[in-house]
Chains A and B, each alone.
Chain A
Amino acid sequence: MTALNSLDLTVQRGDLFGFIGSNGAGKTTTLRILATFLAPSAGQAYVLGHDVVRDADAVRHVIGYMPDFFGVYKDMEVTEYLDFFGACYKIPTAQREKTVADVLELVGLSEKKGALIGALSRGMQQRLGLARVLIHDPQLLLLDEPASGLDPRARIEMMAILQELQRMGKTIIISSHILSELQTLCNRVAIIEKGRLIYTGPVQGVTQQLSETRVMWAKVPPEQHVRAIELLKARPEVRAVEELEERLKVTLQTHDTDPSIISETLVQGGVKLRGLREDEIGLEEVFMRVTKGETQ
């Protein structure tokens, strides 16, 4: 079975990069390869210039990987857990105590430092996972579904922490199913399906690149609807015109078509144009349009 197929992806330093795909699309495999947990059977992957296979040790120093499960020892105390991973990352003892306190402060768990992990709520365990990721001050964070299973408040708080980390200069790759949040959080996204890359680029550009057509909504007086439809249908740049909810939905032939032809046509034809705006489709709609829901 091929988990990833010709996946060619570049993430810039400082990006908050959203990784989107159905279950089984290959997101976790990609993150595991970048985290040096899995070796690719073919192809290369580089993290901050280091090859993930040949230079895995260097990669492990600069990344922080948070899988889609907690990976906690429930009978350990919070500080004990972070202390253990700090030792695994070979942080000197004298420095470790301060680092643990700092990361707990950052994720808002300072008050729980003496608590047993098993007694923490799911949201707090997720925060603890994030604190573990940050313990060695990595430059790249690989976060697999960091907000899954969290209540709305915990999710919003988690997103705020991620934005703060981006402001601190961290590069973050985040895989998530909550696309509305990725849309506001990330500056760039990638969509994959069946291990293949469908789109990569800025969030703002995703709708433009992935939509074949451009949809505009024109508001004209109801008595002039028939006239407006006739005028617009006569233009070769217009693919379709529909009357919906007292407005006209105008579909242009391509996404590059200049929408000002609508206003020009209507005004020149004597139709009163009261408003014109572009149809805003969200990341969720784009995702639904461009993917077929196929898994491997």
Chain B
Amino acid sequence: MWPVILRELRAGSRRWTTYWLRLLAAFAVVVTIAWWLSTPKIVFVRQPGGEVFLQMHRVILAAIWIVVPLMTADCLSREKREGTLGLLFLTNLRAWNIVFAKAIATGLTALTLWLSVIPVITVPVLLGGLPASEIVLSCSLVLGSICLALAAGMIASAASRRISGAVAIAIVFSFVGHLIFSVLVTELGQWLPAFPFRIPNVSDSETPIAAGFFIIWNLYLSEALVGLATTSRTATPITLPVMLIPILSFLISCTVALLAAFIIHRNWQDKPQTKRQTEVEKFFCAPVFLTGLFRWWMRRSLDRNPIGWLEKRSWNGRIAAWIWLAIMISFASALAYSAASRTDFEGYNVLMWMLLVSIAYVAAGSFRRERETGALELILVTPLSERQVILGRLRGLWNQFLPTFAIWIAVVLYLSSALKDWQVASLIRFTVAYFVVPVVGLYFSLRSRFVLLSWFATLAACFALPQMLWWPLHIYLDELQMGADPFLRFRQPFLIGAQLALAALLLWRLRTNLVRRSFSLR
């Protein structure tokens, strides 16, 4: 097991992403502190130290549940794709050795991410009002989260061979793990009298999904969980039940890791598709209706835009588009059906955010296959210009999700008069984002060999960077005292302008990189 751990750690130490992730983690926490302290409207209900620590804790916990499963998602599936898993099985290693070695190596990397933010924690300690019990509780929640998030990523990696599949499963399992963890913490609070914190019970009238969200939400927002101790300004003593959180999480994650080992033990060998699998795939994935029209449409698409055709030709690409269309229609119908949510613009916004995150993932992995197989080199020596290659791919991405986006626009415009907090600026911003995200994603898909990194970079560049640019301007406007709501007057135009400027810059850089061939091949 040690050789695998050492190999993983050595490989990780050579990856520049490991260093930058640590830096980014610390930076995110610093930004959170700075933002929290500089926001003028916030009234501290607690002492500043406790308040700032609570925000830091939320950021760290959210980052763990997002980053760790994704970081782990490809560790076994990559070995399967590259054929190295079989080589490991030819040695004396057992399946559980490999899984635990990978989990330990990834867990250590996750721990170093957490350790990198620990120096920043001195800030709330120095600010005052932060008892030791709160730090201990936060640490136990973080450790427990790391264990379960690792397990979620590991089982996803064992179950899938393709990176996109592994990532999708990891996201689902991350949510499930999140829920399990929240329930675990809640139940500990219910059962053990010595447990120092209480979480409000879920109302009986809530639906199961809403209840799940409520429980998870408590993990981050409930005053009862983190910070209750300081509202009374008395330090709660550290009790043993708090330590049960990481211990129980560790045991659960070990069980899940054993399950992952069982799965890879069964499916590590390349096996041809069974007759039944082929039949099922053919039944569900081959076009059945209007096949003549479908062939004509695909041929026309190939003639007009061969690079865009690559996005449409695979059944999984088409399925992604259709699934999103179905989700949009279902959610839009559900929102419109419910009298309470019909007028809630936020609900429609969440749908759009989810769509944009999906588009970012597809765009961030757009050039990956061409680079891995070397097809990009072949495409670039055809008479297609770099501009045609970029525009072809962009048109392919835009067209793939256009029906979903069009439905969203249509529903929102139809209900606009009834929507609360309705803003034309938001609509324009989402429309701009719809066109900008594929541009930025395409740039990072060429820039980085790692899909997940490209994905994060795309999301950060499209959404976090404009916000960060807005922040100092916001403070400046506030200092000028430009009316009561400078935030609302300038924010949306600024964010839209920043996104457009960024997209123009990255489009130019993308073309330059393609022309100069300044990207790593295969």
Shortest Cβ distance from B384 into A: residue: A88
Please state if A65 and B306 are interface contacts (CB–CB under 8 Å): no
Please state if B377 and A37 are interface contacts (CB–CB under 8 Å): yes
Q: Which of B299, B307, B313, B383 contacts A57 (CB 8 A)?
A: B383
Q: Which of A57, A61, A85 contacts B378 (CB 8 A)?
A: A85
Size bin of chain B's contact surface: 20 to 34
Q: Which of A60, A67, A72, A75 contacts B382 (CB 8 A)?
A: A60
Q: Which B residues are CB-close (under 8 A) to A60?
A: 381-383
B282 interface residue (CB < 8 Å to A): no
B94 interface residue (CB < 8 Å to A): no
**Chain B residues numbered 358-394 whose CB sits less than 8 Å from any CB in chain A:** 369, 373-375, 377-385
Shortest Cβ distance from A81 into B: residue: B375
B314 interface residue (CB < 8 Å to A): yes
Shortest Cβ distance from B376 into A: residue: A71
A214 interface residue (CB < 8 Å to B): no
Q: Which A residues are CB-close (under 8 A) to B373?
A: 69-74
Shortest Cβ distance from A38 into B: residue: B517
**Chain B residues numbered 295-325 whose CB sits less than 8 Å from any CB in chain A:** 299, 302-303, 306-307, 309-310, 313-314
A211 interface residue (CB < 8 Å to B): no
CA distance A260 to B374 in the complex (A): 56
Give the shortest distance, in Å, between B512 (CB) and chain A (any CB).
13
**Please, how many residues of chain A have a CB less than 8 angstroms from a CB on the other chain?**
29
Q: Which A residues are CB-close (under 8 A) to B233?
A: none
Please state if A88 and B383 are interface contacts (CB–CB under 8 Å): yes
A224 interface residue (CB < 8 Å to B): no
CA distance A61 to B382 in the complex (A): 7
Please state if B306 and A88 are interface contacts (CB–CB under 8 Å): yes
Give the shortest distance, in Å, between B298 (CB) and chain A (any CB).
10
Count chain A CB atoms within 10 A of each CB in B302, B377, B382 and give the residue with the most: B382
Please state if B310 and A84 are interface contacts (CB–CB under 8 Å): yes
B522 interface residue (CB < 8 Å to A): yes
Please state if A61 and B375 are interface contacts (CB–CB under 8 Å): no
Count chain A CB atoms within 10 A of each CB in B303, B380, B517 and give the residue with the most: B303
Please state if A73 and B369 are interface contacts (CB–CB under 8 Å): yes
Q: Which B residues are CB-close (under 8 A) to A132?
A: 378
Please state if B383 and A61 are interface contacts (CB–CB under 8 Å): yes
Q: Which of B303, B314, B517 contacts A37 (CB 8 A)?
A: B517
Shortest Cβ distance from B272 into A: residue: A119
Encoded as 1 (CB less than 8 Å from any B CB) or 0, chain A from 69 to 91 comes to 11111111000100111011110
CA distance A83 to B299 in the complex (A): 10
Please state if B302 and A87 are interface contacts (CB–CB under 8 Å): yes
Q: Which A residues are CB-close (under 8 A) to B522?
A: 69
Q: Which A residues are CB-close (under 8 A) to B314?
A: 75
Tell me the interface secondary structure of chain A in the complex. loop
Q: Which A residues are CB-close (under 8 A) to B307?
A: 88
CA distance A84 to B302 in the complex (A): 7
CA distance A84 to B301 in the complex (A): 11
Count chain A CB atoms within 10 A of each CB in B299, B302, B385, B522 and give the residue with the most: B302
A65/B378 contact (C-beta < 8 A), A57-B385, A60-B383, A84-B310 known: yes
Give the shortest distance, in Å, between B309 (CB) and chain A (any CB).
7
Count chain A CB atoms within 10 A of each CB in B307, B377, B381, B516 and give the residue with the most: B381
CA distance A160 to B383 in the complex (A): 29
Encoded as 1 (CB less than 8 Å from any B CB) or 0, chain A from 120 to 142 comes to 00000000000010000000000
Q: Which of B313, B377, B383 contacts A71 (CB 8 A)?
A: B377
Give the shortest distance, in Å, between A151 (CB) and chain B (any CB).
20
Please state if A89 and B375 are interface contacts (CB–CB under 8 Å): no
Shortest Cβ distance from B382 into A: residue: A88
Q: Which A residues are CB-close (under 8 A) to B377?
A: 37, 67, 71
Please state if B381 and A63 are interface contacts (CB–CB under 8 Å): yes
CA distance A70 to B373 in the complex (A): 7
Give the shortest distance, in Å, between B98 (CB) and chain A (any CB).
26
Please state if A93 and B303 are interface contacts (CB–CB under 8 Å): yes
Q: Which B residues are CB-close (under 8 A) to A189?
A: none
Shortest Cβ distance from B374 into A: residue: A71
Encoded as 1 (CB less than 8 Å from any B CB) or 0, chain A from 38 to 56 comes to 1100000000000000000
Please state if A36 and B303 are interface contacts (CB–CB under 8 Å): no
A35 interface residue (CB < 8 Å to B): yes
Q: Which A residues are CB-close (under 8 A) to B313?
A: 76, 80
Please state if B309 and A87 are interface contacts (CB–CB under 8 Å): yes
Give the shortest distance, in Å, between B406 (CB) and chain A (any CB).
27
CA distance A93 to B516 in the complex (A): 32
> Can you list the 5 inter-chain pairs with the closest CB atoms, starting with the nearest?
A71-B374, A87-B306, A88-B382, A71-B378, A69-B374
Q: Besides A37-B517, A39-B516, 8 other CB < 8 A contacts?
A: A35-B381, A37-B377, A60-B383, A67-B377, A71-B373, A88-B307, A88-B379, A88-B383
Can you sample 18 A-B contacts with CB below 8 Å? A35-B381, A37-B381, A38-B517, A39-B517, A57-B385, A60-B383, A67-B377, A73-B310, A75-B314, A76-B313, A84-B306, A85-B382, A87-B306, A88-B306, A88-B382, A88-B383, A89-B383, A93-B299
